Amino acid sequence: MSGYRLPAPLGRRIDRSRLVTFLFNGRAYSGFYGDTLAAALLANGVRLVGRSFKLHRPRGIFSCGIEEPTAIVDVGEGARRTPNQRATLVELSEGLIAESVNCWPSVELDLGAVNRWLAPLLPAGFYYKTFKWPSWGWFEPVIRRMAGLGRAPTKPDPDRYEEVSVATDILVVGAGIAGLSAAVAAAHSGARTMLLTSSAELGGALGWRADPEIDELRSSARRLGVQIQTRTLAFGVYDHNLVCATELLAADAPSPGARGVLRERLWRIRARSVCSAQGSFERPLLFPDNDRPGVMLAGAADKFAHAYGVAGGRRVVIMANSDSAYAVAASLRSAGIEVVALLDRRPSADIAADAGNLRVMTNTAIEKVIGTAAVRACVAGTADGRGARPERIDCDLILSAGGHAPAVHLHSQAGGKLRWVDESAMFVPDGAAPGLFSVGACAGVFSRDAAALHASEVGRALAHGFTVPAAPVGGAGRTLASSRVAAARGKQFVDLQNDVTVDDVGLAALENYRAVEHLKRYTTTGMATDQGKTSNVNALVLMAEMTQRDPPQVGTTKFRPPFAPVTFGALVGRRVGALYRPLKQLPAARWHAAHGALFEQFGRWSRPAAYPLGPETLHAAAQREAAAVRRSVGLFDGSPLGKLEIWGADAAQFLDLMYVGNMSTLAVGQARYGLLLDENGVVVDDGIVARLGERHFWVNTTSAGIERTAAAFEEWLQCEFTNLKVLVTPVTSRWGNVTVAGPKAWSLMAAAGFDAAFSPATMRHMTIRDGTLDEAPLRILRASFSGELAYEINLPADATVALFERLLTAGAALDALLYGVEALEIMRTEKGYIHIGTDTDGTTLPGDIGFARALERKAANFVGRRSLTRPAALDARRLQLVALSPLDRRTLLPTGAQIAADAPPATTEGHVTSSYWSPELNAPVALGMLSRGSGRLGERVSVHHLGARIEAEVVKAPFIDPAGERLRG
Amino acid sequence: MMQIPCPWCGKRDESEFVCGGTSHIARPPLDAADQAWGEYLFFRDNPKGLHLERWRHANGCGQWFNLARHTVTHEISLVYAIAEPAPP
């Protein structure tokens, strides 16, 4: 128990009058309002907070911010459990529940820690090596259980997330001295300015310090109307200056019973210019066992002390490679924390800071850390391994101060390049990125005054559109690039989250994975939730050393969004449940529901699949409905059928170009079936084209194909056949479609009061006529997908319910009934009619489905025609549509089953595409695609499905009414 | 997400548009050789730099138009009508 609470006035962020209790790994602790989980755990003396990803080594709190690699916890429980949260960012609230990840059964007794003894077997690339033999499949279940971080919730999220899109002139990301200066200058120059900070308050990395300059900038920003968004993390820069950010709304854990709490808001901000002021990350140093609980970044210990009033230890050793360590030492001592010694890797000549009366050992490094679950002491030796005898120093907190790495993430995401500043061993932006300008520490400007001045100039220049001044990089002092202890034994961790050691990087270099992208993937450095915020620079420097190159020659991997993990909830927003993929509803949907419809999803439509009676199954209902239609008459809601009106002087010529089948030869009132191809010759839709006038056509497409057909028509008209005078108007939702089908279809319509002009005697199959019924305009098409006498009655969508009522009432004496999509599927399969997308796929050409002769008859060009004479299109082995029947006339052929001479693995000859039980024949009927199928009538084939073999026969289609007598009525 | 200047509606988010690929590809006549037809269907340049391409404001005015986009920076330097010839 080393950490403890420091007395006020230390702890500017916490409210000591408000005690907060929370649970960590099932044990109750208390902290103060304003604490982070990490601060409260340290104050309670908790050091061991997790286990590492691969080796299950004990790990503690390493940082005080977003870069945290090791203190990863799952927060909340049940449906609200949020995995992989950084304890350094989790704001403490009453009743908060947090759990360590990567350990079982507990963080103290972790069985996975056996991996530590297996460590020699788990080097870089161990996945690729070890599990090649005998099979990855042997190892996968074990690896999957042991790997991974937190556990995802298994129940739906009870809370809400929303998104907002805004535009602004200048967007400033980061609210430290640089960000504030830029925002104030931009707003002062008249630009609409937005300022984001992930923190709850303005002031940036040093926001916990009393700072009159920050206070003044803050009030200026408010006065000038800068839109300030706190607790809003910019996680990505996307094309054309779109910045996405998540705003945390509900800081306190919602009470268990609460639902629909607004948790996060996704901001999508389109900015004319973006100004990045994200600051920098402290770079840790490498030494043996530098991952022990009690090793921490120096700046983090300073922040814990001053912002939260928490000391991470009682005896502190600082391991330095940078002048910034000296400021931290002084700051800690001012907080009353004992700093035992400052070990500096650098020779005296490189050190520009003054340590006062603190014991400083130059040219010194830590050779060894004593203590496993918590630091107890360290052994200091000379940095180069020569000279003075190693010295043991008792301590319980070791601070790592390896210099700083500018947070160049947004700059890099925006497409900016980096350059290496050797003096301070850091990558800085090499000029600006397109549309994005860095200021302050993330631009490599570490002197406070220079940063504020430069940022103001940038803000002003962006607002006015002036040339943006270059960043005055500097002020970080001298830092050695190399940060490891060359001669020491023991694991020196480069990436604490992924358990990547100096030796792993060495192995990658040895095995020639020297390119930075290879280094990352082979060793997993810089992956997972922290994305290498504390490890990237050390890994690159190491690889450079080991391959005798300079760090810039190794280069850096491209930073990609997101900058930090984003919850799925924030990205998904309101698009969940019924709003995930909203279905289209029929105009008469409620009427169908009241009449017992069983709704299912067909494409994007919710439609009646059948109308089961009482306990009847879908299958039984569909059988009954199909039989009744063939016997008497049925009513079907065909409203989803795609409907287009085509107008214009060149409408006929245009439709000839679009369809296989001549539409220009149609007389007014006539209708014709057409296949729509794409330019590859592939059948993409079918439908019926009817001529309403010389220059006016009515086109029915498939229900699923209407959007793409309308889009294709527009594309050809606007981009290729630009000389044609044609207008295409999609009217699907304006017109309902009530289909009356069956031998008594006309009897029913006559009984319902339809004009005798529509009788089969005067209105032929495949003709269209206008009419009226109770003043509603009608457009009646005689066409049939069931093979029975059928009328498709098109009428204004809001009149469909009235027509259904009228027909059903009139049809009582005729046993008229409603039928659904399943019954229609049975009937069209009995007739051998194809369903595009079910019987056809992305390779099907018109010749494959029986339209070879239609092609021969049409000499003119049309879309896709040239592709039908390509060698592949003329290949005799192509799959062709066939009708199939099982030899026993009893066994249903499974849809999707493969046709092959022998059991798999054998070359398949085709597959079953549609298969139903025919109530008419009391036997199965099926369609399929079969190689050379059109010439194989009467042949026997074997159908294979899940190990079973069914003998079938290629039969003649259609299965019923081959002469089409029913169709004509 | 890019911001695309529709010539009719002004700047709108990319999600409102559909990209139709490279512009100015001539459609060969019916008697074109297999090779020429195959190139028309399947072969496209993949330049690093300026690319002339077709877009449709599908969730907007529905109109097709051409634009010149830099394939690395996504900078859109020119927007012109669908029937206009390729700029020099």
pLDDT tens figures, B38-50: 999 999 999 999 9
**A715 with B38: Cβ contact below 8 A:** no
**A714 with B82: Cβ contact below 8 A:** no
Residue B30 to chain A, least CA–CA distance (Å): 6
Three state DSSP letters for A845-862: CHHHHCCHHHHHHCCCCC
Residue A680 to chain B, least CA–CA distance (Å): 7
Q: If you measure CA to CA, which chain B residue comes closest to A865?
A: B30
**B3 with A871: Cβ contact below 8 A:** no
Q: Does B7 touch chain A (CB under 8 A)?
A: no
**A718 with B64: Cβ contact below 8 A:** yes
Question: What pLDDT shows up at residue A800?
Answer: 97
Which residues of B are less than 8 Å from A714 in CB distance?
56, 62, 64
Q: Which residues of chain A have pLDDT under 50?
A: 1
If residue A506 lies in a helix (H) or strand (E), which one and from where to where?
helix A502-510
**A866 with B32: Cβ contact below 8 A:** yes
- What is the phi/psi pair of residue A281, to 5°? -110, 145
Question: What pLDDT shows up at residue A117?
Answer: 64
Tokens of A269: 């901000």
Question: What pLDDT shows up at residue A197?
Answer: 96
**B64 with A715: Cβ contact below 8 A:** yes
Which residues of B are less than 8 Å from A434 in CB distance?
73, 75
Which residues of B are less than 8 Å from A870 in CB distance?
34, 37-38
pLDDT tens figures, A402-442: 999 999 999 999 999 999 999 999 999 999 999 999 999 99
DSSP string, A507-571: HHHHTT--SHHHHHHHH-TT-TTTTTTTTHHHHHHHHHHHTT--HHHH--PPP-S-SS---HHHH
Residue A779 to chain B, least CA–CA distance (Å): 28
- Among partner residues A240, A434, A865, which is closest to B3 by beta-carbon distance? A240
Residue B17 to chain A, least CA–CA distance (Å): 12
- Among partner residues A270, A680, A861, which is closest to B30 by beta-carbon distance? A861
**A719 with B54: Cβ contact below 8 A:** yes
Three state DSSP letters for A640-695: CCEEEEEECCCHHHHHHHHEECCCCCCCCCEEEEEEEECCCCCEEEEEEEEEEECC
- Among partner residues B20, B41, B56, which is closest to A679 by beta-carbon distance? B41
Question: What pLDDT shows up at residue A357?
Answer: 92
Residue A633 near residue A748 (C-beta atoms within 8 A):
yes
Q: Does A718 touch chain B (CB under 8 A)?
A: yes
Question: What pLDDT shows up at residue A149?
Answer: 76
Tokens of A845: 């050409």
pLDDT tens figures, A655-702: 999 999 899 999 999 999 999 999 999 999 999 999 999 999 999 999
Cβ count within 10 A of residue A123: 17
DSSP string, A113-154: GGHHHHGGG--TTHHHHHTTSS-HHHHHHHHHHHS-SS---S
The contacts of residue A618 (CB under 8 Å, 6+ apart) are: A598, A609, A610, A612, A822
Residue A420 Cα to chain centre, angstroms: 34
Which residues of B are less than 8 Å from A413 in CB distance?
none
CA dihedral A28, A33, A35, A40 (to 10 degrees): -20
Question: Do you find a cis peptide bond into A958, omega within 30 degrees of 0?
Answer: yes
**B64 with A871: Cβ contact below 8 A:** no
**A870 with B1: Cβ contact below 8 A:** no
Q: Does A866 touch chain B (CB under 8 A)?
A: yes
Q: If you measure CA to CA, which chain A residue comes closest to B18?
A: A711
**B1 with A861: Cβ contact below 8 A:** no
Which residues of B are less than 8 Å from A575 in CB distance?
none
Residue to test with chain B: of A165, A240, A875, most B Cβ within 10 A = A240
Q: If you measure CA to CA, which chain B residue comes closest to A243?
A: B1
Residue B40 to chain A, least CA–CA distance (Å): 10
Sequence-separated contacts (24+) of A105-111 with Cβ below 8 Å? A106/A25, A107/A25, A107/A48, A107/A49, A107/A50, A107/A51, A107/A58, A108/A48, A108/A373, A110/A51, A110/A56
Question: What pLDDT shows up at residue A775?
Answer: 86
Question: What pLDDT shows up at residue A632?
Answer: 97
Cβ count within 10 A of residue A163: 17
Q: If you measure CA to CA, which chain B residue comes closest to A240?
A: B2
Q: Does A270 touch chain B (CB under 8 A)?
A: yes
Q: If you measure CA to CA, which chain A residue comes closest to B35?
A: A870
Residue A757 to chain B, least CA–CA distance (Å): 40
CA separation for the pair A855, A847 (Å, rounded): 8
Q: Helix crossing, A448-464 with A177-188: angle to 10°?
A: 30
Q: Order of strands across the sheet with A768-773?
A: A768-773, A776-781, A790-796, A735-741, A634-637, A817-818
Residue B88 to chain A, least CA–CA distance (Å): 20
- What is the phi/psi pair of residue A115, to 5°? -60, -25
CA distances A778 to A146, A793, A865, Å, are 67, 7, 36
Which residues of B are less than 8 Å from A718 in CB distance?
63-64, 82
Residue A635 near residue A740 (C-beta atoms within 8 A):
yes
List, in sequence order, every residue forming a beta bridge with A451; answer none if it has no partner. none
Q: Does B14 touch chain A (CB under 8 A)?
A: yes
pTM: 0.90
Residue A699 to chain B, least CA–CA distance (Å): 20
**A270 with B27: Cβ contact below 8 A:** no
Q: Does A859 touch chain B (CB under 8 A)?
A: no
Q: If you measure CA to CA, which chain B residue comes closest to A861?
A: B30
pLDDT tens figures, B22-41: 999 999 999 999 999 999 99
Q: Helix, strand or coil for residue A354?
A: coil
Question: What pLDDT shows up at residue A657?
Answer: 97
Tokens of B83: 């029937």
**B20 with A240: Cβ contact below 8 A:** no
**A715 with B37: Cβ contact below 8 A:** no
Taking the CA of residue A395 as centre, how many other CA atoms within 13 Å lie in the half-sphere pointing to its CB? Answer: 29
